Amino acid sequence: MLIVAEDAAAMAALRRQLGALESALDASDKKDKDAQSRIADLGQRLNVALAQRVQELSRYRSDFFGRLRAIIGNRPDVRIVGDRFVFQAEVFFDTGQAALRPEGRIELDKLAGALIELEKQIPPEIPWVLRVDGHTDIRPIASPQFPSNWALSASRAISVVQYLVGRGVPPQRLVAAGFGEYQPLDPDRTEEAFQRNRRLELKLTER
């Protein structure tokens, strides 16, 4: 009888331990579910905040492009393509060169003024930049100064960015990129297509 009682006591102890373990597991599961719920809620709130920021930047982009169009006028060598303002390269540069022409500097003065006004309007928490993309046509260039179309397109974008900085645009709001001949607007091999593909694109975007 003593052995049976001891067995019963041991079984009871084991049941208590098992009950405590189940309670701990239940509490752990609840914590995990609470944590997952909080993570999901934070993710949803982050997505909403990002979407709102993108919408807000899109509104400023639209206003900026409208202002820039009004400033520059209805020139055939300047147009809007999607979310980009596109200048033909000849607006700023002579053939095969990356030094700004006097006529190009005049246009960039207008752009600098619009960017400085934009900087005052966009809330500081929106990390926006103006990206300047240089593009060439498919015909190769190989000169001591520019060993490739990539080098020419990048140098042209940098020339524009440096000029804008010199006119008071904050450098942290500017990005220069060169794409060479690898992003053509027109795949044809005609002089008209070559001219369309020689361009600089301005895009208001996030860092």
At 41, list the tokens: 């809620």
At 113, list the tokens: 């003024």
pLDDT value at 35 more than 80 = no
Domain 73-206 has CATH 3.30.1330.60: yes
37 or 116, higher pLDDT: 116
Q: What is the mean pLDDT of residues 47-59?
A: 71
* Phi and psi, residue 67, nearest 5°: -65, -40
Q: What percent of the chain has pLDDT over 70?
A: 88
CA–CA gap between residue 193 and residue 135 (Å, rounded): 13
Q: What is the mean pLDDT of residues 30-53?
A: 70
pLDDT value at 5 more than 70 = no
How high does pLDDT run on average in the chain?
87
What are the residue ranges spanned by the domains of the chain? 73-206
* pLDDT tens column, 60-115: 888 887 887 788 777 888 888 888 999 999 999 999 999 999 999 999 999 999 99
Give the pLDDT score at 201.
97
Residue 84 pairs in a beta bridge with 81
pLDDT value at 53 more than 90 = no
CA–chain centroid gap for 37, Å, is 31
* pLDDT tens column, 124-149: 888 999 999 999 999 999 889 999 99
Q: Which of 23-27, 44-48, 135-139 has the lowest mean pLDDT?
A: 44-48
Q: 94 Cβ partners below 8 Å, 6+ apart?
A: 101
Give the pLDDT score at 152.
98
HSE-CB for 84 with a 13 A CA cutoff: 14
At 162, list the tokens: 């440096």
Q: 85 Cβ partners below 8 Å, 6+ apart?
A: 65, 68, 78, 79, 201, 202, 203
